[in-house]
């Protein structure tokens, strides 16, 4: 029997934003499918089995509850990603088919560890996953920045009128 491939469904209206994540998942040996809405993802989940669903939190249109409803009781895991000022938080929603809403959100590094565990759990090949993960870890996963950093202001000191200069110097 050949190695098991981890099937991942990525849900985001702008798939170019998850291109680094896709590259990382492929380095781990995952196959990726895409949906641009909760409704499209729900339709895919009706017809296909996925091991992992990664979805943007708060997509417009559709019902956010559709995804966990389709996954609870199965074997798949669902994480929502929520963009913050610099990076994103990964919010566990379903783990191995069990409801886990309310668990602590994961920082990107913690999420990478969770991904490795999920892949190892599906493939059963922990040493290979660790080896791939180490080589893939050299390329960081980047998320978009929703809030841009302001440019530094260059403030020129105002010249004081001659009368004020004299008053301040004594």
Mean pLDDT lowest among 10-14, 85-89, 153-157: 153-157
Give the model confidence (pLDDT) of 79-122 as tens digits.
Answer: 999 988 878 899 999 999 999 988 999 999 999 999 999 999 89
Q: What is the mean pLDDT of the chain?
A: 78
What's the pLDDT at 138?
45
Q: Is residue 85 part of a domain?
A: yes
Q: Is residue 98 part of a domain?
A: yes
Asked whether the beta carbons of 56 and 78 are under 8 A apart, the reply is no
In whole angstroms, what is the distance from residue 109 CA to residue 112 CA?
A: 5
Give the model confidence (pLDDT) of 135-146 as tens digits.
Answer: 444 444 444 333
What's the pLDDT at 84?
86
Burial of 94 (0-12, 13-18, 19+ CB in 10 A): buried
Q: How long is the chain?
A: 170
Give the model confidence (pLDDT) of 28-72 as tens digits.
Answer: 999 999 999 999 999 999 999 999 999 999 887 778 888 999 999
What's the pLDDT at 18?
86
Cα-Cα-Cα-Cα dihedral sign, residues 154, 159, 165, 167: negative
Q: Is residue 62 part of a domain?
A: yes
Phi/psi zone of residue 143: left (φ > 0), alpha (ψ -120 to 50 degrees), beta? Answer: beta
**CATH code of the domain in which 152 resides:** 3.40.50.2300
Tally of domains in the chain: 1
Average pLDDT for 124-150: 46
CA nearest 56: which of 82, 77, 32, 35?
Answer: 82
Which residues are CB-contacts of 61 (< 8 A; sequence separation ≥ 6)? Answer: 37, 38, 39
What's the pLDDT at 87?
81
Q: Is residue 102 part of a domain?
A: yes
Q: What is the DSSP letter of 61?
A: S
Domain enclosing residue 159, as ranges = 6-168
Position 25 confidence tier, pLDDT thresholds 50, 70, 90? very high
Phi/psi zone of residue 2: left (φ > 0), alpha (ψ -120 to 50 degrees), beta? Answer: beta
Task: Using the predicted structure, report yes or no on whether residue 156 has a pLDDT greater than 50.
Answer: no
Torsion of CA 140, 124, 9, 84, to 10 degrees: -40
Q: Is residue 1 part of a domain?
A: no
Q: Is residue 55 part of a domain?
A: yes
Q: Is residue 150 part of a domain?
A: yes
Rounded (to 5) percent helix, strand, coil in the chain: 40, 20, 40
């Amino acid at each position: 029997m050949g190695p098991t491939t981890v099937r991942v469904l990525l849900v985001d209206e702008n798939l170019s934003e998850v291109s680094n994540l896709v590259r990382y998942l492929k380095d781990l040996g995952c196959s990726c499918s895409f949906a641009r809405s909760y409704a499209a993802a729900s339709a895919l989940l009706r017809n296909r089995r996925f091991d992992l669903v990664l979805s943007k939190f708060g997509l417009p249109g559709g019902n956010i509850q559709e995804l966990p409803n389709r996954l609870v009781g199965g074997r798949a895991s669902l994480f929502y990603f929520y963009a913050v000022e610099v990076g994103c938080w990964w919010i566990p929603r379903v783990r191995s088919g069990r409801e886990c809403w309310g668990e602590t959100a994961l920082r990107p590094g913690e999420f990478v560890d969770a991904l490795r565990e999920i892949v190892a759990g599906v493939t059963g090949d922990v040493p290979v996953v660790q080896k791939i993960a180490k080589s893939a870890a050299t390329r960081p996963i980047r998320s978009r920045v929703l809030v841009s950093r302001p440019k530094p202001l260059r403030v020129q000191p105002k010249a004081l009128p001659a009368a004020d200069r004299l008053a301040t110097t004594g």
